[in-house]
Amino acid sequence: MKSQSRKVALMALFSLVSTSYAQAQPIAAVVASFKLDVGPLTPIMISFRSRFSQSEVHSQAEVRTRGISSIFSEYNAVAQSLSLLDAQHINPSRFTLAQHKREKSVLEWSTDGALVMNRPAHKDAIVQAKVLNSNSPDTADPITAILRVATSLGSSPCSSTQRVFDGQDVVDLTFTDTNEGTLTGKSVYRGPVRQCEVRWHAVAGRAAERGDRDEIYGISFASLGTIVSGQQFWLPVSMTGSIKGLGFSAYATQIVINDQELVGKRP
């Protein structure tokens, strides 16, 4: 991918996964694994775990290269987030991103929405000012932004624009509903989905200064049920698009909810 923000956005989008398998109990914990295939290779593996309470969500996502692709371009990143949760809102509290075991970004939000970062997003003062000016009280870290989409009200999760900041880049992720459908293929989930389109747009930071073009991905969301705080959960089960002109597909390979493995379960 061209920038850290793309890697983090993809990692966040696939840091959660759902099935419409009926849950007797509210969702308190999710563990999942994913593959991202580019051509004949599986260059990227993504793993995720999240634990929900009535007021908080603790999440961790890891992305890493695998197999022969790691020989040419080894990459490993771990993102951790603490999000504050109530029946109406999910807000960021703390986000950390480490690459190759080295801390890259630490972001903290106060209760009034003020953002504090451990280091400037850019060494150039003008670019740094653009980053600060583009952040708003609604800006969230990548994982919290996707949690907001996942708990959208209504018949579709795809009706919002999320402003995202990962410590280096500010981007907009615009979600648009396209259709209902039935998912088949490599994902362990196969069944009814809401098909959506997400547009990645660089607002400020390194990607915007390079003039990176918008990218559009196709995402299929399925309804998982409800989390412990009561919100309905819409989560991505597959994603398609292109990376540097090469088509890719991402899909879930393992799902564990409340310590119960759902691999192979069908609605």
Q: Is 84 a residue whose pLDDT tops 60?
A: yes
Q: Is 69 a residue whose pLDDT tops 50?
A: no
* pLDDT tens digits, 120-164: 999 999 999 999 999 988 899 999 999 899 887 777 899 999 999
Q: Is 75 a residue whose pLDDT tops 70?
A: no
Q: HEC states along 131-148?
A: HHHHCCCCCECHHHHHHH
CA angle (224, 230, 231) in 5-degree steps:
55
Backbone angles phi, psi at 235, to 5 degrees: -140, 150
Give the C-alpha separation, 249 to 177, whole Å: 19
Instruction: Give the position of tokens 């990176």.
Output: 212
Q: Could you tell me which residue, 238 or 266, shows the higher pLDDT?
A: 238
pTM for the complete prediction?
A: 0.84
Question: In the chain, how long is the greatest CA-to-CA distance?
Answer: 53
Structure confidence at residue 267 (pLDDT)? 35
